[in-house]
Amino acid sequence: MRISENGIELIKRFEGCRLIAYKAVKTEEYYTIGYGHYGADVFKGMTISQLQAEEYLKKDLEKFENYVKNCVTTFSPTQNQFDALVSFAYNCGLASLMRLTKDRNARQVADHIPAYVYAGGQKLEGLVKRRNAE
């Protein structure tokens, strides 16, 4: 299964696109660019084109699709569920995806996803909206 165009649009809507590298939190190790691409390959002052942002997203999505495929073992997700879980993993990471899905069925995952709305100990309205959309 692959993320659908609806799933990609969901991620784009909540990530936004920035063509100049930035740190969302000053203490982060790496910079972020494009639609949330984060890592050692992004550096201070780096700029990319819109096309490059799309390419980073496409490559990153393959990794997060595989995370979902490997972590969701107790149910077979529908396309919408798969899209939501890829979006969740893209935002929260592999460890959170593993905690969310471990030994849970689809209903239980849906019931627990709203808990992931905190960053730095604070509830963020943007994360509330994203979890509701997912």
Q: What is the distance between the alpha carbons of residues 35 and 61, in angstroms, rounded to a whole number?
A: 11
Active-site positions read 15
**Angle at the Cα of 24 from the Cα atoms of 5 and 84, rounded to 5 degrees:** 25
Q: What is the pLDDT of residues 36-89, one digit of tens each?
A: 999 999 999 999 999 999 999 999 999 999 999 999 999 999 999 999 999 999
Question: How many residues are listed for the chain in this entry?
Answer: 134
Residue range 3-17, pLDDT digits in tens = 999 999 999 999 999
